[in-house]
Structure 1
Amino acid sequence: MANQRGYPHPVFGKVKLGNLGFAVAFWPLLGWTKTVSSQEGTLAGLAGKFGLGEGLVVQELGFDIDSDEMVSNAIASVAELVDETYDDVVDAVLLWWREDDGDLVDALVDALGPLTDNGVIWLMTPKPGRDGHVEPEDIADASPTAGLQATSNINAAPDWQGTRLVAPKSRR
């Protein structure tokens, strides 16, 4: 039992503590703080892949049980993440899309509605081999029809990839 014998502490010398006191006193030495800071670093790093930062408003559309919550949490850690009921302008849209979700062109046009002139749409689709995978040709066909062009792709999560879509400069 922890309170029956002393423990060597690098700063306080030998200390006698209860189980809770032991955990608090040795917290940094046990590496528990690294877990928290590593997770924060992971979230910030993932949000950095999207090029999103503080002060931005990001509208999330199409989130469902199969969507990757870590991606949403990462964006929420650096920007204001709002849902489909938000009725003001947004700087970016995070659109989760699966093969059977309907007409991609309609969804992209709807996502453009609240978007600022320089805003971006991140189209999140399941990776190849996953349920609901959207073929790259479908994205390539739907984007210009909706008035958008794809600029880059990212590996966003184990099951999801992201395609960055923007309005061509001539339309801004």
Structure 2
Amino acid sequence: MSATADHADGKPGEPNMATRLGFEPGTVVQELGYDDDCDDALRDAIQEITGEQFVGDDTDDVVDAVLLWYREDDGDLVDALFDVLTDLKAGGVVWLMTPKVGRDGYVDASDVAEAAPTAGLSTTSSLTVTEDWSATKLVMPKSPRKK
């Protein structure tokens, strides 16, 4: 990996956040909710690691991961989460990006905790990924084992 990729979020000596989010070469990522307030350094780091451009909501293919930028005023969170499941492959990951506390568009963690299971997703972890954004990892629950 190049020095640029190691520190693609701009701070030498700190881990690349895109790597901490689990992105790997060849991962196909669908990006939804992009606006000019999104963190371009994180976006660039993800694309550099994956070696792939983001696909939009008009893709005909399944994707390995969804990067969903979501703000309080973006509509119903449950609907947004249902929408991301359309193109997500089985075993795929949704990274729900929400503004941190005190930032415009902040989404309370309890709203995420309530919306995820309604949409059929489980919350597994949350990370602070940039100065302005937090990431919540959502996955489809594993089906119970048959006896």
Question: Shorter chain as normaliser: what TM range?
Answer: 0.7 to 0.9
Q: Any stretches of 5+ residues in structure 2 without a counterpart?
A: 9-14
> What secondary structure sits across from 1:53 in the alignment?
coil
> What secondary structure sits across from 1:74 in the alignment?
helix
Question: Normalising by structure 2, what TM-score?
Answer: 0.87
* 1:95 paired residue number: 68
Percent of matched pairs sharing the same residue: 53
CA distance in structure 2 between the partners assigned to 1:38 and 1:129 by the alignment: 33
* 1:61 paired residue number: 32
Q: Give the partner amino acid of 1:107.
A: A
- Cα RMSD for the two superposed structures: 1.4
Is 2:12 the partner of 1:41? no
Whether the aligned pair in 2 keeps the contact of 1:123 and 1:165 (CA below 8 Å) is yes
CA distance in structure 1 between the partners assigned to 2:58 and 2:48 by the alignment: 20
Whether the aligned pair in 2 keeps the contact of 1:60 and 1:94 (CA below 8 Å) is yes
Cα offset for 1:41? 1.5
Q: Give the partner amino acid of 1:58.
A: V
Is 2:73 the partner of 1:108? no
Whether the aligned pair in 2 keeps the contact of 1:49 and 1:154 (CA below 8 Å) is no
Match of residue 148, structure 1, among 101, 109, 121: 121
**1:60-108 residue CA offsets vs partner (Å, 9 max, x unmatched):** 0000010111111111012222222222100000000000000000000
How many residue pairs are counted as aligned between the two chains? 135
Higher RCO (CA < 8 A, seq sep 6+): 2
Question: Normalising by structure 1, what TM-score?
Answer: 0.75
Cα offset for 1:40? 2.7
CA distance in structure 1 between the partners assigned to 2:7 and 2:67 by the alignment: 19
Is 2:46 the partner of 1:75? yes
CA distance in structure 2 between the partners assigned to 1:155 and 1:74 by the alignment: 15
Q: Any stretches of 5+ residues in structure 1 without a counterpart?
A: 1-36
> What secondary structure sits across from 2:58 in the alignment?
coil
